[in-house]
Each structure stands twice: as structure tokens, then as C-alpha cells.
């Protein structure tokens, strides 16, 4: 699967994935940006506190215009922007914030507590008390899933990182266990999003993609949706905070009463699993186009077509 870089994705799309289809065709899965309305939503923000992050806490660097500039600290504006967004989305009006990968070996978590949007705006995200000598993601994941939100009806967790994960296999194994808990009805909805910051994250994006695209062995939830816990974004490419919800939407959420998706030659595509989009535009589009197609268009009644290039 090839996911288009977010700076190539045009509004209103949130994420566009291109996969090989049958007989050489092109299979497209695209989501439309939206902020879900969820009762009982819980949120968490985890900031990588490993030693490899020191430069990001104390140096300037590339982040998107979405995040306000901060002299000599590219982590702080990302944490403030995303933390404020999560707090305003959270049903309790606050989000749980931690530093992770702290201390000896990078196994420790520094809990900053729950903060509302006003508190986050004045909080200094300068650095953890003890930078970690390793980068272990699993303890932070377990902190949220086992201590903070073991029974929450809906949870989204963001992990800011430079991408140098040392326990990827352990995180994958635990993620499969979380998936099995969801299948068994022992755990509710859970979404995990890695947000890469700094040049190290760009170099390690392949590792972030590996977790994003991990195989759950065909696990499906009660609604028949395939388990897919992880997503990843790069801070330098993000244009809207809603992008963190790009993989949250599904084909049952209808955003417009009718629409058309046209291939590069202007011919209507045939959605997978339904006859057309004439009876409603879902938040998740799933269709195939002829081999060699390099774009598709979204056409809503009375509006100009929105063209999304694939290359």
C-alpha cells in the first residue's frame, strides 16, 4: 500500500491510499476530513523524552505552518497545538499528557497530568526531567491503555516522536493483543497516532510506516471493520489537526446526500461494496480505477470538481 504524503492531499480529503487492484487496476481508499462527534471520548498526548530528542527540544527545525513558531524548540508548538485540539475534543474538556521514553533505558513515563486548553496554552514543554537513554514506546502505550483508559468507550492517543523506536516488535505484539480485546468486546474503540518531528523522524519514517501498516491477521470488530490501530503523520506535512482522525471514519458515515467519483478520463468509478455514490457520500471512499489512472475527481451537486492527483 502506498499512502500519499499529506502535503499532496487536497481538501476535503484526509488520507489517500493507493493499492494494487484486480487485473492491474488501481484500488483507492480515501477518507474525507471530519471531526467526529463522540460521547465519552478520552484523549492522551505523549511526548518522546528520549535523549535522541534533545536537539528537537533545543533547536529550530521544519514544522508546518499549522504549528506556531517557537524559538529553539520545535516540540513545544506541536505539543501545544495538538494538545489544545485534543482537550477541546475530549468529553471531559482535558487531555492526559505525558513524557515517555524517559530515564534509564527509556522505560519511564513522566505524568504531567490532565490539562484543559487554557492550561496547555501556558504550559512550557521544554524537556522532561530525565531524558531517556533508550526509546521504549510500550510503557507509554500501557500507561494509557491499562492505567488511564482501560474501559473508555472511545480513545485516541497521539505519540510525538523522532521515530527511533527500539521496541517495535514488542509494540506490535501488544497491539495485536489490544486488537483481540476489541474483537472479544473487552475493549472499546482505540486509535493510536504517531506524529513524527525533526529530521530524525524523516529518516525513520519507514519504521513509523511499518507500525502504521502492521498486519493484524484478519482481526475484525463487531461491526465487521478490520482492526487497524496505528496511523502516522509527519509534523512538517500536517495542514489541519483533523488529519489525526483520517483513519477514524468509515463507510457508514454519510457526509452528503449524493456525489460522483470520476476517474482521470471523466468516467464514473464503481465503488466496492455498493452500486454508486448517488445515494450518499461516505466519509470513507473505496473504489477501483483502470490501470494507469493518475487522478480522480470528487463531484458534488452544484460545486466544481475537486481533483486529487495520485502521482
* Digit-coded pLDDT (tens) for 58-78: 854 555 667 765 557 899 999
Q: What gap in Å lies between CA 271 and CA 269, rounded to an integer?
A: 6
Neighbours of 58 (CB within 10 A): 13
Q: Which of 226, 245, 264 is the last residue of a domain?
A: 245
The 10s digit of each residue's pLDDT in 114-163 is: 999 999 999 999 899 999 999 999 999 999 999 999 999 999 999 999 98
Instruction: Indicate whether 136 and 220 sit together in one domain.
Output: yes
C-alpha cell at 208: 513509523
What pLDDT, on the 0 to 100 scale, is given for residue 240? Answer: 87
Provide mean pLDDT across the span 158-171. Answer: 95
Instruction: Indicate whether 228 and 271 sit together in one domain.
Output: no
Task: Measure the N-to-C terminal CA separation of the chain; round to a whole number of Å.
Answer: 14
Residue 2: is its pLDDT beyond 90?
no
Q: What is the largest CA-CA distance in the chain?
A: 60
What pLDDT, on the 0 to 100 scale, is given for residue 71? Answer: 56
Instruction: Indicate whether 210 and 289 sit together in one domain.
Output: no
How many structural domains comprise the chain? 2
CATH number of the domain bearing residue 207: 3.40.50
Instruction: Indicate whether 28 and 52 sit together in one domain.
Output: no
- Tell me which residue of 214, 221, 305 sits closest to 266, measured CA to CA: 305
CATH number of the domain bearing residue 263: 2.60.40
Instruction: Indicate whether 153 and 61 sit together in one domain.
Output: yes
Instruction: Indicate whether 210 and 281 sit together in one domain.
Output: no
Instruction: Indicate whether 179 and 269 sit together in one domain.
Output: no
Q: What gap in Å lies between CA 228 and CA 191, rounded to an integer?
A: 8
Q: What gap in Å lies between CA 295 and CA 12, rounded to an integer?
A: 15
pTM of the model: 0.84
The 10s digit of each residue's pLDDT in 232-264 is: 999 998 988 999 998 888 888 888 999 999 999
- DSSP H helical segments within the chain, as ranges? 54-57, 75-89, 117-122, 138-142, 168-183, 198-203, 205-212
What pLDDT, on the 0 to 100 scale, is given for residue 212? Answer: 94
Q: Return the H-helix or E-strand segment holding 96.
A: strand 95-102
Which range has the top average pLDDT, 13-17, 103-107, 160-164? 103-107
Q: Which of 202, 217, 245 is the last residue of a domain?
A: 245
Instruction: Indicate whether 175 and 272 sit together in one domain.
Output: no
Instruction: Indicate whether 241 and 255 sit together in one domain.
Output: no
Secondary structure (3-state) at 243: helix
What are the angstrom distances between the C-alpha of 192 and each of 44, 104, 189, 273? 10, 25, 10, 27
Instruction: Indicate whether 236 and 287 sit together in one domain.
Output: no
Q: Which of 191, 217, 245 is the last residue of a domain?
A: 245
Q: For residue 164, what pLDDT band results from cuts at 50, 70 and 90?
A: confident
Instruction: Indicate whether 184 and 208 sit together in one domain.
Output: yes
- Tell me which residue of 134, 158, 157, 136 sits closest to 145, measured CA to CA: 157
C-alpha cell at 262: 470520476
Instruction: Indicate whether 117 and 160 sit together in one domain.
Output: yes
C-alpha cell at 280: 450518499
What pLDDT, on the 0 to 100 scale, is given for residue 209? Answer: 93
Q: Identify the domain containing residue 88 by its residue range.
A: 41-245
| DSSP, res 40 | T
Amino acid at each position: 500500500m502506498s499512502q500519499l504524503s499529506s502535503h499532496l492531499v487536497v481538501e476535503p480529503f484526509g488520507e489517500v491510499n493507493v493499492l494494487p487492484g484486480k487485473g492491474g487496476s488501481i484500488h483507492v481508499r480515501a477518507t474525507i476530513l471530519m471531526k467526529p462527534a463522540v460521547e465519552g471520548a478520552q484523549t492522551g498526548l505523549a511526548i518522546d523524552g528520549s535523549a535522541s530528542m534533545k536537539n528537537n527540544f533545543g533547536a529550530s527545525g521544519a514544522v508546518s505552518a499549522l504549528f506556531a513558531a517557537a524559538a529553539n524548540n520545535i516540540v513545544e508548538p506541536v505539543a501545544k497545538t495538538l494538545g489544545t485540539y485534543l482537550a477541546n475534543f475530549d468529553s471531559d474538556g482535558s487531555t492526559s499528557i505525558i513524557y515517555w521514553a524517559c530515564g534509564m533505558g527509556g522505560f519511564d513515563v513522566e505524568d504531567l497530568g490532565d490539562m484543559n486548553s487554557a492550561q496547555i496554552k501556558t504550559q512550557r514543554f521544554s524537556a522532561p526531567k530525565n531524558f531517556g537513554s533508550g526509546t521504549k514506546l510500550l510503557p507509554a502505550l500501557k500507561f494509557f491503555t491499562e492505567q488511564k483508559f482501560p474501559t473508555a468507550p472511545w480513545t485516541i492517543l497521539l505519540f510525538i516522536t523522532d521515530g527511533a523506536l527500539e521496541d517495535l516488535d514488542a509494540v506490535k505484539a501488544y497491539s495485536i493483543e489490544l486488537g483481540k480485546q476489541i474483537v472479544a468486546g473487552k475493549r472499546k474503540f482505540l486509535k493510536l497516532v504517531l506524529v513524527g518531528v525533526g529530521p530524525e523522524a524523516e529518516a525513520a519514517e519507514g519504521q513509523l510506516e511499518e507500525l502504521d501498516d502492521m498486519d493484524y491477521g484478519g482481526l475484525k470488530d463487531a461491526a465487521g471493520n478490520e482492526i487497524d490501530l496505528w496511523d502516522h503523520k509527519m509534523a512538517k506535512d500536517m495542514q489541519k489537526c483533523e488529519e489525526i482522525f483520517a483513519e477514524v471514519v468509515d463507510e457508514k458515515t454519510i457526509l452528503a446526500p449524493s456525489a460522483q467519483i470520476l476517474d482521470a478520463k471523466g468516467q464514473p468509478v464503481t465503488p466496492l461494496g455498493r452500486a454508486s455514490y448517488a445515494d450518499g457520500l461516505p466519509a470513507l471512499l473505496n473504489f477501483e480505477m483502470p490501470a494507469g489512472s493518475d487522478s480522480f475527481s470528487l463531484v458534488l451537486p452544484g460545486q466544481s470538481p475537486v481533483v486529487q492527483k495520485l502521482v
